[in-house]
Amino acid sequence: MNSQEYIELSVRIKPFSEETADIVTSEIAELPFEAFTTEEPYLRCYIQKDLYRANDVRVVLGGLAIPGTELSWEAKLVQGQNWNREWESEFSPIVVDGKVTVKAPFNKDVPRTRFNIWIEPEMAFGTGSHHTTYMMMQQMLALEPLIRDHVVLDMGCGTAILGILAAKMGASKVYAVDIDAVAARSAWGNARWNRVGTRVRTLCGDASLLQMGSYDIILANIHRNIIIEDLPTYVRSLRKGGRILLSGFFETDIPAVLDAAALLGLSPFRTLTREGWACLGMERVDESEKNN
């Protein structure tokens, strides 16, 4: 976030819980909010003044029914400041299963692991601290032989942390795609900073870009509705024997995602959950093998 004027939307959650705050964040992130912080009992959301639409907020939050939870909110103009700098000062390194470390340039004395990723923390686009990104990296570690020397797609890449990990794991080519131009630029810079820029190609656009090629591994850590909508495109772009890793949704969303996947001949081979969030590893079911 830069220093221009922003609207601070304070959502009061009663009773407050981190899980409920995550649910509200997931829903309101469909609007062009750039950053979210929690300060019990509030979830504070920040959006550029010119992009704020009170009616859009009413539609999203007014239609959000969480049993036993009451939501109220208010918005106010806040003076510009470097939000990202303040948030970065609190960023701590993330270690996944003792094998992957995600760290910022200002983190000091961080032990090295097998895969080390430097990232410029961006509040909007992910640093590995969220449960879904963490689980996606866990799934990727288990699929290392299928990633090495193969083509990987990082859909909705954000900072491209997953794409960068795939490249460091030996992927021959990584396509990092995000619909947000700022995210795509961030991904481009991070890939080069991690010295994998020659193997990570960043693109700005939606799932229609997938027709440019085919992939051995598809990574999609996005909102549930977008995953379900774009899943047919993912399957058409998946090479024989490939895998799809999906996250960005809650445990309660697993049945809906599995139903959509089954219609496309996909079957789960590994399911992870963490603090109410879910991550599914999917593979295409060959009907001829299935019947044998």
CB 278 within 8 A of CB 264: no
Write down the pLDDT at residue 35. 74
Every domain of the chain and the residues it spans:
6-86, 128-290
Indicate the pTM of the whole model.
Answer: 0.74
Q: What is the DSSP string of 1-67?
A: --SS-EEEEEEEEES--HHHHHHHHHHHTTSS--EEEEETTEEEEEEEGGG--HHHHHHHHHT---T
- The H or E element spanning position 94 is strand 94-96
- The H or E element spanning position 187 is helix 181-193
**Average pLDDT of the residues in 14-43:** 83
Cα(126)–Cα(246) distance, integer angstroms: 16
Write down the pLDDT at residue 136. 96
Give 173-230 pLDDT, tens digit per residue: 999 999 888 788 889 999 998 999 999 999 999 999 988 789 999 999 988 889 999 9
Give 44-55 pLDDT, tens digit per residue: 888 888 889 999
Class of 6-86 per CATH? alpha beta
Give 149-175 pLDDT, tens digit per residue: 999 999 999 889 999 999 999 999 999
Give residue for tokens 């995000």: 178
Phi, psi of 42 (to 5 degrees): -110, 145
Is residue 89 predicted with pLDDT exceeding 70? no
Give 237-290 pLDDT, tens digit per residue: 999 989 999 998 899 999 999 999 999 999 999 999 998 899 999 998 765 555
The CATH superfamily of 128-290 is: Vaccinia Virus protein VP39 (3.40.50.150)
**Average pLDDT of the residues in 32-50:** 84
For the CA atoms of 8, 10, 16, 17, what is the dihedral angle to 10 degrees?
-30
